[in-house]
Amino acid sequence: MPGPQSRGFGDAERRTRSGRGDLTPELIETDVWTDVMVEQAGIPVVDVPFVTVGSGIGSFVTVDYLRICGVPLDRIVVLGPQDVPWHSYEYLTRVSQIPRGERLRSDSASTPDNIWGFPSYAVREAWATRSIKPLWNVAVEPIFANYYTPKAGHAFESMEKECHRIGYLQCLRQGQVRMIRRRAGGGYFTILTPPSGPEAGVGAPTKRIAFRSQWVHVAIGYPGIKLLPDLQAFRETYRDASKVVNAYEPHEHIYQALQRRPGTVMIRGAGIVASRVLQRLIDDRDALGLQTQIVHLFRTYVDKSHGPHIFMRRRGKDGWAYQGFNYPKSVWGGQLKARMRTLEGHERAEAYKQMGGTNTPVRDSWQEQLKRGRREGWYRVAVGKAESLVPAAGGQGVVATVRVDPHASITQESRPDGTFELYADYVIDCTGLEADVREHRLLADLLDHTGAGINPVGRMDVDRNFELIGTRNGNGRIYASGSATLGGYFPGVDTFLGLQIAALEIVDDLAKQGFCSRLSPWRSTAQWWRWARGKGVD
């Protein structure tokens, strides 16, 4: 199949200029499209063998593998809203208090800019700082030191270099992907809503563009922000989003308000984001001499190591469950990875349940801060389920009604009905991002019109090679990677290394179909040497 180019665009251009070039009711309601249907709608068509949807880190690492395997730029198109692959991820890390100078929850060898993992982030940091400390950290972790993790800025800067090296931005067509539909005869149409004006080389303004391809890869990240029910009800009822926020939303106004006058903040959640928000609050308190009070509401209070047996234990203390990374390291290349590939149905769901649960890595700095807060009384803990949230008297702050957890290992006073009230000026919800795949319009459309299904834990059902089960169409295949595929045969999908492993499986499958060459030892060595010298792929 030739590279990206318009097919039969003269008539489509004339129709577009007269106001057409949009989805018709027939297209929206039909599962399998013919070329004639798209042409009659006046939508310009661009032919390209491989389309990746999302334009985030998942798309980037997949394109990186393809380019290293020798696929020319004109045989790949990246569709999505982001101008650079790390844009959305950096936004989420920044607003959740992990700016470029702070460290991510990722290990040294999880390098999305470098498929070989060497030199690792620790090696590069040691070289840049002329210090052996990062290397020593990796050598003695996790027994004598906490796990090494890279700084966010280091990851973004290295991805930027690789973007330019492989020509990634030349493949990018910005816009919103509206839907993916099967094409009569094989392959797919991917519909992009571009920014206003000429786009994708079609030469005229158009509301939609159809990319006709044999292969599609979907890596769109999380569907959206999740807000706990009582917090969502508060926002909808009282039309106030300033006092109740999700940690993944911009909420700098809270830290600024606390600098102007003392206040109380309620933290909800016990993962890495909660620990980072707490550290930001306490850093400001220490640096600026603030009188901020913190109430931390745990849904479940962990006070000791826990797990089904001695070989699956997770440390716990003071309400927190501790784990270096999102999942045990063996899911990325050890026994647990091999075992998960053999499990089906409820057995796989049960395995995810055993290794899942909210957790956070050990960080000596913020543990010391919380210990000091407990001792001095400005950091307090409560355990239970929040049932309602209402404005406090006079509209200053909010009051949460919490049903006490009778099994919690800490003593809590409550009313006869088993509830108690907590006051705060602000509530920061750190419970995570939305997990329901139907919250994303594209994923919902794949489920309704393209044959995709749901896996045992409620996400998109993919095979061991990350093909979206049920969507094959003639010689065409749809692949998916990232958070939307959690629950498949490979855990750890929503991590740097997980995205790379998924990309490797996808590219191996594409090589079997003849789209690209296998990454032989000779080519791999030669391409690593080009990477090390900053030379482009060949």
Q: What is the pLDDT of residues 108-120, one digit of tens each?
A: 999 999 999 999 9
What average pLDDT does this structure show over 82-102?
Answer: 94
What does the pLDDT read at residue 421? Answer: 95
- pLDDT tier for residue 488 given thresholds of 50, 70 and 90: very high
Torsion angle, alpha carbons of 244, 250, 252, 258, to 10: 0
Task: Please state the domain extents for the chain.
Answer: 229-303+359-429
Q: What is d(CA 366, CA 111) in angstroms, rounded to the nearest whole number?
A: 26
pLDDT of residue 364: 81
13 pLDDT above the threshold of 70:
no
pLDDT at residue 116, rounded to an integer: 96
What's the pLDDT at 445?
97
Average pLDDT value for residue range 9-29: 63
In the chain, count of helices (H) and strands (E)?
A: 18, 23
Cis peptide before 142 (omega within 30 of 0): yes
Query: For residue 218, what are the β-bridge partners?
Result: 53, 480
Looking up tokens 């045992």 gives 456
Spatial distance between the Cα atoms of 400 and 391, rounded to a whole number of angstroms: 9
Percentage of the residues of the chain whose pLDDT score is greater than 90: 72
Q: Residue 2 has what pLDDT?
A: 44
Q: Which CATH architecture has domain 229-303+359-429?
A: 3-Layer(bba) Sandwich (3.50)
CA dist 431 → 32, 59, 402 (Å): 39, 26, 17
In this prediction, residues 196-208 reach a mean pLDDT of: 63
Average pLDDT of the chain is: 90
pLDDT at residue number 15? 39
Cα separation, 105 vs 93, whole angstroms: 11
| pTM strictly above 0.85 | yes
Check: CB of residue 482 under 8 Å from CB of residue 89: no
Tell me the per-residue pLDDT of 451-467, one tens digit each, with 9 for 90 and over.
Answer: 999 999 999 999 999 99
**pLDDT of 247 over the 90 cut:** yes
User: Over 70: is that where the pLDDT of 23 sits?
Assistant: yes
